[in-house]
């Protein structure tokens, strides 16, 4: 299992529109191959910054299957207009869950 | 509820030592006021980079109570020697959990 973490900077003043569009996109992730979770958090210190965290069974489920899908284009169509800059995407694996 | 996210860059070659020290520190977070969870993830693309995520009941439980405690000094004593640079710390709030 791998986490995609996308740090998304939203154009100032378009936070509510971005959040609504991201909610609309939940179904895209729900039906994506190997996707088992998706949530969004917002920075307290930088309120235009969001962290999209998506759980994938494998790295390739994100980088190959999802990014190669029509639903990725739909995701970008929904939320892309609110991006201030291209998202910074990385992947993380759990080292340990303390509690 | 607020998430502390500390991005920790570890000196190359000291990843296992850092992980062991962080495991030793679990108890410090378990007994910290308002702390309800702690986990560590590691970057796939940059394996010297870790994301420490800690759940706090309030922002002040982290910034005032924990940082002002002896246990914070103990945390830094345990893991500080493995930091390549000072950690980058921010706080996040849940916008939504899609699924």
The pLDDT, as a whole number, for residue A74 is: 98
Give the pLDDT confidence score for residue A6 in this predicted structure.
98
B65 domain-assigned: yes
Instruction: Give the model's pLDDT for residue B76.
Output: 98
Q: Check if the beta carbon of residue A92 is closer than 8 Å to that of residue B44.
A: yes
**A93 and B40: CB-CB below 8 Å?**
no
Mapped to the 3 state alphabet, what secondary structure does chain A carry? Answer: CEEEEEEEEECCCCHHHHHHHHHHCHHHHHCCCCEEEEEEEEECCCCCEEEEEEEECCHHHHHHHHCCCHHHHHHHHHHHHHECCCCEEEEEEEEEECC
- Residue range A13-55, pLDDT digits in tens: 999 999 999 999 999 999 999 999 999 999 999 999 999 999 9
In a domain, B99, yes or no: no
Per-residue pLDDT at A86: 97
Q: What is the mean pLDDT of residues A60-71?
A: 98
Query: Domain for residue B20, yes or no?
Result: yes
For chain B, the domain total comes to: 1
Q: Which two tokens stand for residue B35?
A: 């702390």
Mean pLDDT, chain A, rounded, equals 98
* Mean pLDDT in order along chain B per 10 residues (99 residues): 98 98 98 98 98 98 98 98 98 98
CA A55 from chain centre, in angstroms, equals: 10
Please give the ipTM for the structure prediction.
0.96
Q: Is residue B9 part of a domain?
A: yes
Query: Which pLDDT does position A34 carry in this prediction?
Result: 98
What band does A65 get if pLDDT is binned at 50, 70 and 90? Answer: very high
Residue A68 lies in a domain: yes
CB A48 within 8 A of CB A15: yes
**Confidence (pLDDT) at B83:** 98
What number is the average pLDDT over the span A68-73? 98
- Shortest Cα distance from A20 to chain B (angstroms)? 10
Closest by Cβ to B92, choosing from A3, A42, A59: A42
Token representation of residue B92: 């996040």
The token duo for A55 is: 């759980």
> What is residue A90's predicted lDDT score, i.e. its pLDDT?
98
Q: Any bridge partners for residue A76, and if so which?
A: none
Full-model pTM? 0.97
CATH number for A69: 3.30.70.100
Q: Distance of CA B74 to CAs A64, B25, B77, B89, Å?
A: 43, 8, 5, 18
β partners of residue B39: A97, B53
**Nearest CB to A43; choose among B37, B46, B90:** B90
Q: What is the percentage of chain A residues whose pLDDT exceeds 90?
A: 100
Mark yes or no for CB contact A5/B92 under 8 Å. Answer: no
Give B29's contacts in chain A (Cβ within 8 Å).
98-99
Q: What is the extent of the structural domain holding A21?
A: 2-92
User: Does any domain span residue A98?
Assistant: no
Model pLDDT, residue B16 = 98
Do the domain assignments include residue A25?
Answer: yes
């Amino acid at each position: 299992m791998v986490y995609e973490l996308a740090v998304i900077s939203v154009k100032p003043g378009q936070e509510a529109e971005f959040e609504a569009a991201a909610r609309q996109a939940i179904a895209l992730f729900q039906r994506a191959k190997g996707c088992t979770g998706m949530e969004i958090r917002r920075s307290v210190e930088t309120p235009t910054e969001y962290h999209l965290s998506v759980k994938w069974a494998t790295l390739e489920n994100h980088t190959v299957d999802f990014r190669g899908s029509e639903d990725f284009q739909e995701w970008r169509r929904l939320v892309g207009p609110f991006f201030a800059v291209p998202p910074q995407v990385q992947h993380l694996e759990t080292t340990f869950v303390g509690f």
